[in-house]
C-alpha cells in the first residue's frame, strides 16, 4: 500500500503510508494530526486502489486489464481506472512499460521498500547505545534541509533539538549520502533514564492509542466482511506503522500494540492477495 513523502518537527505520533500521508521523523503529531485517536480513514479512489495494488504486489507491475478488474471489485468503473492510470503516468507515479504493464517509478519503489521494512523491521540486539547525527554542514540550501528531514524520517530518528537527531541503535539500515554529507555520525548513551528520553522524543502513548483504535476497526471490518472498509482501515494502519519508532522493548510502555497492528494488516493482505489472484491474473 502507499504513502507520500513529507517532513516533520519534534516528537512523533503520526500516521504515514497508504493512500497518501506523510513520513514522520519526529513531531508530536503527524499524519492525522490527532494524538491518541485513530487516524482518519481516507476515501477509496481509483488512484488509491491502483497504488495499493501495485505497492502490495511483488514485482509491482500489472497490465491495465488486471488493475481494471481489481477496481471492479470495489465498484470503480473501468473508465475511471483507466483515467487514473493516465493521470498517474503523467504525474510521475507510474511508468507504462513496453509490454503494456504499469509499474512504479523509483520514488514509489523506495516507498514500497520503506513499507516492507515497517511491517518486518530489520532489528538487532540493543546494548544501550544510541545513534546520534549532528548537522555539521554549513550554508545548506532549503532543498538540502528538506531532503535531510525526509531521510531522518525514513531512518526513524527524532530531533532532540535543531540539528541533533538520535534514536536507539537497534535498527539495521544504511545511512544514505544525504545524511552522511550533512551530518557527523556518533554513537553514545544517555546518562539518565533512556526510557524517559524516548518518551520525550516520541509520543508513545498517542501512537499506541491510535494503533489500538485501528486494531479495533480492523476487527470490526473483518466481522462484517466489508472488503472496501477493510481496505481503508488497512491503508490507515500501514500509514501508522510507518510512524512506529521501532524502539527496543525495554523503552516501550507495556502492552505495546505494534505487533497486533502488524498482524491485522498481514491478515488483510493475505485476503487481498487472494482477491488479486482471482481478479488480477493475466488473461
Dihedral, CA of residue 215, residue 216, residue 218 and residue 223, to nearest 10: 140
pLDDT value of residue 275: 80
Query: Is pLDDT of 217 > 60?
Result: yes
pLDDT of residue 114: 86
Residue (of 118, 5, 97, 105) closest to 51 by Cα position: 105
Of all residues in the chain, what percent carry a pLDDT higher than 90? 65
> Which pLDDT band holds residue 280 (cuts at 50, 70, 90)?
low
pLDDT over threshold 50, residue 144: yes
Kindly report the pTM of this predicted structure: 0.80
Residue 270, H or E segment: helix 258-279
The DSSP secondary-structure symbol of 123 reads B
| Rounded Cα–Cα distance for residues 49 and 39 (Å) | 19
* pLDDT tens per residue, range 95-114: 999 898 999 999 899 888 88
Give the C-alpha separation, 47 to 268, whole Å. 19
pLDDT tens sequence across 20-43: 333 333 444 333 333 456 667 788
Note the pLDDT of residue 216.
96
Q: Of residues 4 and 82, which shows the higher confidence score?
A: 82
| No. of helices (H) and no. of strands (E), the chain | 10, 7
* Residue 206: per-residue pLDDT: 95
Give the separation between CA 123 and CA 211, rounded to whole angstroms.
21
**pLDDT at residue 176 above 50?**
yes
pLDDT at 282: 55
Considering only residues 112 and 89, tell me which one the structure prediction assigns the higher pLDDT.
Answer: 89
Determine which of 34-43, 138-147, 233-242, 250-259 has the lowest per-residue pLDDT on average.
34-43
Amino acid at each position: 500500500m502507499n504513502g507520500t513523502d513529507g517532513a516533520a518537527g519534534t516528537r512523533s505520533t503520526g500516521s504515514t503510508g497508504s493512500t497518501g500521508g506523510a513520513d514522520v521523523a519526529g513531531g508530536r503529531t503527524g499524519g492525522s494530526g490527532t494524538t491518541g485517536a485513530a487516524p482518519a480513514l481516507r476515501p477509496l479512489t481509483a488512484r488509491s486502489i491502483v497504488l495499493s495494488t501495485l505497492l502490495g504486489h511483488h514485482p509491482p507491475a500489472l497490465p491495465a486489464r488486471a488493475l481494471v478488474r481489481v477496481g471492479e471489485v470495489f465498484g470503480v468503473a473501468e473508465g475511471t481506472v483507466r483515467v487514473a492510470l493516465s493521470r498517474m503516468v503523467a504525474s510521475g507515479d507510474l511508468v507504462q512499460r513496453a509490454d503494456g504493464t504499469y509499474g512504479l517509478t523509483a520514488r514509489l519503489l523506495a516507498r514500497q521498500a520503506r513499507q516492507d521494512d515497517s511491517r518486518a523491521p530489520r532489528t538487532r540486539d540493543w546494548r544501550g547505545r544510541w545513534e546520534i547525527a549532528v548537522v555539521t554542514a554549513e550554508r545548506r540550501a532549503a532543498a538540502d534541509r528538506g531532503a535531510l528531514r525526509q531521510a531522518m524520517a525514513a531512518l526513524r530518528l527524532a530531533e532532540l533539538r535543531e540539528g541533533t537527531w538520535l534514536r536507539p541503535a537497534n535498527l539495521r539500515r544504511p545511512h544514505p549520502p544525504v545524511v552522511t554529507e550533512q551530518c557527523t555520525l556518533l554513537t553514545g548513551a544517555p546518562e539518565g533514564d533512556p526510557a524517559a528520553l524516548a518518551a520525550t522524543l516520541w509520543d508513545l502513548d498517542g501512537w499506541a492509542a491510535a494503533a489500538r483504535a485501528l486494531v479495533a476497526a480492523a476487527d470490526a471490518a473483518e466481522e462484517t466482511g466489508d472488503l472496501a472498509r477493510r481496505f481503508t482501515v488497512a491503508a490507515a494502519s500501514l500509514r501508522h506503522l510507518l510512524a512506529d519508532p521501532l524502539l527496543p522493548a525495554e523503552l516501550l510502555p507495556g502492552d505495546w500494540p505494534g505487533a497486533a497492528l502488524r498482524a491485522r494488516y498481514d491478515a488483510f493482505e493475505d485476503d487481498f492477495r487472494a482477491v488479486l489472484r482471482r481478479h488480477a491474473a493475466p488473461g
